[in-house]
Homo-oligomer: A and B are copies of this chain.
Amino acid sequence: MKSRITLAMILLTSIGFANLSAAALPDPGVTIVPGRTALLITDPQNDFLSPEGVAWGVVGKSVTDNHTVENIDALFKAAKANDMPVFISPHYYYPTDHGWQFEGALEALMHAIGMFDREGALTVKGFEGSGADWLAQYKKYINDGETVVSNPHKVYGPETNDLVLQLRKRGIDKVILGGMSANLCTESHMRELIEQGFEVAVVSDATAAAIVEEGNGYESALVNFRFIANTVWTTAEAVKKINNAE
Contacts and interface: CB of A to CB of B under 8 A. Distances in A.
Nearest to A146: B96
Closest 4 CB pairs of A and B: A168-B197, A9-B112, A215-B223, A20-B57
A237 interface: no
B228 A165 contact: no
Interface of A: 5, 8-10, 12-13, 17-28, 53-58, 61, 94-97, 99-106, 108-109, 111-114, 121-124, 127, 145-149, 151-157, 159-162, 164-171, 173, 183-184, 187-188, 191-192, 194-200, 210-217, 219-224, 226-231
Given A104-B194, A109-B26, A191-B191, A183 B227 contact: yes
Q: Which of A13, A184, A194, A195 is most buried by chain B, counting CB atoms within 10 A of its CB?
A: A195
A28 to B, nearest CB: 5
B148 A154 contact: no
Contacts of A227: 104-106, 183-184, 210, 214-215, 217
B169 A100 contact: yes
A165 B169 contact: no
